[in-house]
A and B are shown apart, each in its own frame.
Chain A
Amino acid sequence: MKKLKITFILLIVVLMLLVSACSAKDPSTTKEKDETKSTTSDAKEEETKEEETKEPTTLEIFGPGRGFWDPEKNSALKVIMDKTNTILEVTIPEDRKQALTMRMASGDVPDIFTTGRFEYLDYIPTGYILDIKDLLDEYGQDILSECNPDAWPYVTISGKIYGVPLWNNSFKHLLVMRADWAKNLGIELSNPVSYGEYGESMTQDEFSALLLAFTYDDPDGNGEDDTYGYAAAEDYNLRTSFTSLFGMFGGQVEQYYDYDDGVLPYIVTDDYRAGLNYISEQWALKTIDPEIFLSKGEQVQQKIMNSKIGIYTGWWSTTGTLANDGIYDLAPEAEFTHIYTIGNDGRNGILNNGLLSGVTSISTQSENPEVAMQFLNFLSSDEGYNLAGYGIEGEHYTVLDTGHFVKTALGAEVYEQWLLDPLWNLTCRKDVENFQRAAPLGDDATPLQLTQLVFHVNSTMNTAPTYASIFYGHAVPAIETELGTDVKTHVDQMAIEFITGTADVNDDEVWAEYIAEWEKRGGKRILDAYVQGSNDVYGTNYTSGN
């Protein structure tokens, strides 16, 4: 019986081995066979080349995670395919990063794919991202003329260009004020916001006075002591929740700058210490929402809708969202304006979210990289951009004598169904064109429309100063992956302690301990790695500061 069992097991194992051997392909053999095939059929390819170029080329595109691909519902997509002589197979995966990683790992890479900001750096070692420098020179004239020239260095490594940089609005986290509260308290606004302008600027002292007034002077006139001067309308994050406040003190969290005595992260500098001190003073005065470290963004937005907050930092679209969600039902008198704050020493700025929103790359596996580049170039041309972003003139939109675009009923429907997004999100042209072409609102514009328009346009077109890290776009060193979380935990924890007064930020001994702990957890090693990487890859001459 035992022998029978052993024999049975051995038979199963042999069967499994046979099955797997028969189905497995030897990649090298396959490649050799393919190469042999290709060399022997070169002659035939030459003969049929003329015929083949007339046939549309199939391109598989792994697009950004927005919109729907439906040429039947959006005829502009068919026009694009006709004009580029392509058949497009567009995939808009829900979890783009995971899906693309799986495709790369399995060797089944699409012709064109987009990646998030600097994700492409992770894929370079796979060898699947094509250097498109030569293709750009030959076929990418519209891309080169339309893309932000400042963005190209971020997709170029050692002279190789790994993709088309997709445009990004750098101004994401804006400071917004209840302008009607300022009026209620008799505070003059000398520079109310309007289309194309940034908004109200104020000094640090004026800002501080405003926070106090919004907290203690009953700005909404309801007779209750229920308002706070400042809150963050997003999930708490040290990097973004106090961005404008730290901006008055010369920097932003998680950024590195080149100081006189070398490169340092902002979070170990005296400027940062001064910023923490200012915020802790406001905390002690109770002008900051006491739940700022705990609340979710939606909870804070609800407080704003209930007129509990006077000034908030939020995503650029937050105010438009509040308008859409019905803040004017709860507070018909509400008026909002951008503000930006200037420190007592004249420094100001907000977080720069970078020039890239993503990168569109061509695969080394693509059989038609020239066609892929020509297609991307077409999307950057006036004709292609209009087709991708607005549809067909006369069918989806009409053009007024003023040059503004007005959607037709069909165009509005296509737009509402997000059928115009897939290809439009592959281009590198500025989003601001949308609003330059949109017909301006008339005198009958509702507060909702005005709020939405102002806050989108201004965030797109403003030129307020921003802070950008000198290592923006650089590959994350391995040591940061290993130790970065620990360092960040320490910095975040100590920031809360300093702000709430649990630890005295003005105590030199406490500050020294904070710095020492930062170094002990690996902060200095991470700094050195960034400096070394920058010098090696980008030819800079940085040194680590002390």
Chain B
Amino acid sequence: MVIGSNKNFNLFNVILTISIGIFGIIMFYPFLNLIFISFSKYSDIVKNKGILFYPQGFNISAYQYVFRYNNFWPAYQNTVFITLIGTSLALFLTIIGGYVLSVRELPGRNFLTTIVVITMFFSGGLIPGYLNFRNLKLLDSLWVLIIPVSINTWYMLLARNFFQGIPTEILESAKIDGISEVSLILKIIIPLSLPIIATLSLFYGVGRWNEYTFAVLYNSKVELQTLQVVIRGMYQITPDDFQDMDNYVPPSETVRAATVIVATIPILCIYPFLQKYFAKGIMVGSVKG
């Protein structure tokens, strides 16, 4: 046993742990501060110049305002629906499309890939898009936030590249055993592709959750608003416009903090469940010799 080298190793670990810990706290503290602000009285926030280490003058008026805000819960439901259905549909189409483009024997594969890539550089524009959705009767419907954006070509190319990385020997050995194409995808490709599926589901999910522009432009009905649109509306109705002395509105600082928490927490809760799939895939070592 070399005592000297163990000492250096432990010291290094300790320094590293402390440094990363401090760095982590610095990165995490602003979010924690936001939570404290959302539960604090504004005058106490001001007194402490916005830096809090615990909620001061604890009150939940900001959350009460957010949760009671007209149309908040319907918008939340709409966003959950769009996220779940939109992400599922997007994943399905992206995986299928990516797999097809990854098959080397596909006739015209290069041509199809070129066509797909071209769509990444050019789009129809805002007005043609509006006219197109109007003609397809997608306006004023939640499906306008799901169908037109159901494939992100960049993500599809990512999926394609991932599938191309799967050793062909695995696929050939499965085909030799007489597996069908559909079973090949379901039983071999998808289980090996959990990392990319997890990644894409997070990308798509966050994108759908944060959807704002399409919701503003293509939906005019209040009952179809999404969470981000309602949150934006909350910021516009602030204590700056007093029309009624009885109509207390929590300070905008605390309302903003509360809306950030309410909008972010669901995504934060999902992320840890997907993180394990980002680890090294199980296919390493699956092909011997």
Encode contact with B along A79-119: 1 for CB under 8 Å, 0 otherwise.
Answer: 00000000000011111001100100110100000000000
- When A8-B108, A302-B49 are in contact, do A94 and B127 touch as well, CB less than 8 Å? no
Chain B residues in 8 Å Cβ range of A157 = none
State whether the Cβ of A306 lies closer than 8 Å to any Cβ in chain B.
Answer: yes
| A-B pairs, 3 with minimum CB distance | A326-B43, A91-B220, A329-B43
State whether the Cβ of B41 lies closer than 8 Å to any Cβ in chain A.
Answer: yes
- Please, could you name 15 A-B residue pairs with CB atoms under 8 Å apart, sorted by A? A65-B236, A91-B221, A98-B216, A102-B126, A106-B131, A320-B242, A321-B238, A324-B239, A325-B42, A326-B41, A326-B46, A326-B251, A329-B43, A412-B247, A438-B245
State whether the Cβ of A500 lies closer than 8 Å to any Cβ in chain B.
Answer: no
Q: Within the complex, which residue of B46, B131, B232, B246 is in contact with A306, where a contact is CB–CB below 8 Å?
A: B46
Q: Within the complex, which residue of B222, B239, B247 is in contact with A68, where a contact is CB–CB below 8 Å?
A: B222
Q: Within the complex, which residue of A325, A329, A449 is in contact with B239, where a contact is CB–CB below 8 Å?
A: A325
A305 to B41, CA, bound (A): 13
Q: Which residue of A lies closest to B69 (CB)?
A: A417
Encode contact with A along B225-260: 1 for CB under 8 Å, 0 otherwise.
Answer: 000010011001111111111111101010000000
Q: Closest CB-CB distance, A113 to chain B, in whole Å?
A: 12
Chain A residues in 8 Å Cβ range of B237 = 66, 418
State whether the Cβ of A298 lies closer than 8 Å to any Cβ in chain B.
Answer: yes
Q: Closest CB-CB distance, B157 to chain A, in whole Å?
A: 21
Chain A residues in 8 Å Cβ range of B43 = 305, 325-327, 329-330
State whether the Cβ of B71 lies closer than 8 Å to any Cβ in chain A.
Answer: yes
Q: Given A68-B70, A68-B222, 14 more contacts at CB 8 Å?
A: A9-B111, A69-B222, A98-B217, A99-B220, A102-B217, A106-B127, A108-B134, A315-B240, A317-B242, A325-B251, A407-B246, A415-B243, A452-B242, A453-B245
Contact B243 A434 (CB under 8 A): yes
Chain B residues in 8 Å Cβ range of A438 = 245
> Which positions in A face B, CB cutoff 8 Å?
5, 8-9, 23, 65-66, 68-70, 91-95, 98-99, 102, 105-106, 108, 298, 302, 305-306, 315, 317-318, 320-321, 324-327, 329-330, 407, 412, 415-419, 434, 438, 441, 449, 452-453, 456
Q: Within the complex, which residue of A9, A23, A102 is in contact with B127, where a contact is CB–CB below 8 Å?
A: A102
Q: Within the complex, which residue of A65, A106, A298, A449 is in contact with B245, where a contact is CB–CB below 8 Å?
A: A449
Q: Which of B39-78 contact A (CB under 8 A)?
A: 41-43, 46-47, 49-50, 70-71
Contact A102 B216 (CB under 8 A): no
State whether the Cβ of B6 lies closer than 8 Å to any Cβ in chain A.
Answer: no
A41 to B215, CA, bound (A): 40
Q: Closest CB-CB distance, A397 to chain B, in whole Å?
A: 11
Chain B residues in 8 Å Cβ range of A452 = 242, 245
Contact A317 B131 (CB under 8 A): no
A282 to B242, CA, bound (A): 34
A503 to B243, CA, bound (A): 45
Chain A residues in 8 Å Cβ range of B41 = 326, 329
State whether the Cβ of B135 lies closer than 8 Å to any Cβ in chain A.
Answer: yes
Q: Which residue of B lies closest to A412 (CB)?
A: B246
Q: Within the complex, which residue of B49, B134, B222 is in contact with A70, where a contact is CB–CB below 8 Å?
A: B222
Contact B247 A416 (CB under 8 A): yes
State whether the Cβ of B130 lies closer than 8 Å to any Cβ in chain A.
Answer: yes
Contact A324 B130 (CB under 8 A): no
Chain B residues in 8 Å Cβ range of A65 = 236
Contact A94 B245 (CB under 8 A): no
Q: Closest CB-CB distance, B237 to chain A, in whole Å?
A: 6
A539 to B190, CA, bound (A): 75
Q: Closest CB-CB distance, B118 to chain A, in whole Å?
A: 12
A68 to B241, CA, bound (A): 16
Q: Which residue of B lies closest to A95 (CB)?
A: B216
Q: Closest CB-CB distance, B46 to chain A, in whole Å?
A: 5
Chain B residues in 8 Å Cβ range of A70 = 70, 222
Q: Which residue of A lies closest to B254 (CB)?
A: A325
Chain B residues in 8 Å Cβ range of A9 = 111
Chain B residues in 8 Å Cβ range of A306 = 46-47
Q: Closest CB-CB distance, B59 to chain A, in whole Å?
A: 11
Q: Which of A94, A105, A329, A330 has the most CB of B within 10 A?
A: A94
Contact B242 A415 (CB under 8 A): no
Contact A324 B217 (CB under 8 A): no
Contact A94 B232 (CB under 8 A): yes
A325 to B111, CA, bound (A): 62
Chain B residues in 8 Å Cβ range of A94 = 216, 229, 232-233
Chain A residues in 8 Å Cβ range of B135 = 23
Q: Which of B163-221 contact A (CB under 8 A)?
A: 216-217, 220-221
Q: Closest CB-CB distance, B155 to chain A, in whole Å?
A: 24
Contact B253 A298 (CB under 8 A): yes
Chain A residues in 8 Å Cβ range of B251 = 324-326
Q: Within the complex, which residue of B46, B229, B241, B247 is in contact with A305, where a contact is CB–CB below 8 Å?
A: B46
- When A106-B134, A321-B240 are in contact, do A326 and B42 touch as well, CB less than 8 Å? yes
Encode contact with A along B93-133: 1 for CB under 8 Å, 0 otherwise.
Answer: 00000000000000010010000000000000011001100
Chain A residues in 8 Å Cβ range of B49 = 302
A305 to B43, CA, bound (A): 8
- When A108-B134, A324-B251, A452-B245 are in contact, do A330 and B220 touch as well, CB less than 8 Å? no
Q: Which of B108, B222, B238 has the most CB of A within 10 A?
A: B222
A8 to B245, CA, bound (A): 72
Q: Which of B233, B237, B243, B246 has the most CB of A within 10 A?
A: B243
Q: Which residue of B lies closest to A91 (CB)?
A: B220
Chain B residues in 8 Å Cβ range of A298 = 253
Q: Within the complex, which residue of A91, A93, A108, A324 is in contact with B249, where a contact is CB–CB below 8 Å?
A: A324
Chain B residues in 8 Å Cβ range of A330 = 43, 46-47
Chain B residues in 8 Å Cβ range of A95 = 216-217
A329 to B232, CA, bound (A): 29
A74 to B239, CA, bound (A): 23
- When A105-B127, A415-B247 are in contact, do A92 and B222 touch as well, CB less than 8 Å? yes
Q: Which residue of B lies closest to A65 (CB)?
A: B236
Contact B216 A93 (CB under 8 A): yes
Q: Which residue of A lies closest to B221 (CB)?
A: A91
A419 to B237, CA, bound (A): 12
Q: Closest CB-CB distance, B215 to chain A, in whole Å?
A: 8
Q: Which residue of B lies closest to A303 (CB)?
A: B46
Chain B residues in 8 Å Cβ range of A456 = 242-243
Q: Closest CB-CB distance, B132 to chain A, in whole Å?
A: 10
Q: Which residue of B lies closest to A73 (CB)?
A: B70
A192 to B251, CA, bound (A): 28
Q: Closest CB-CB distance, B50 to chain A, in whole Å?
A: 8
A325 to B40, CA, bound (A): 12
Chain B residues in 8 Å Cβ range of A415 = 243-244, 247
Q: Closest CB-CB distance, A183 to chain B, in whole Å?
A: 23
Q: Which residue of B lies closest to A302 (CB)?
A: B46
Chain A residues in 8 Å Cβ range of B126 = 102
A102 to B127, CA, bound (A): 6
Chain B residues in 8 Å Cβ range of A317 = 239-242
Chain A residues in 8 Å Cβ range of B247 = 412, 415-416
Q: Closest CB-CB distance, A9 to chain B, in whole Å?
A: 8
A321 to B242, CA, bound (A): 8
A416 to B243, CA, bound (A): 10
Q: Closest CB-CB distance, B214 to chain A, in whole Å?
A: 12
A102 to B217, CA, bound (A): 8
Contact A102 B130 (CB under 8 A): yes
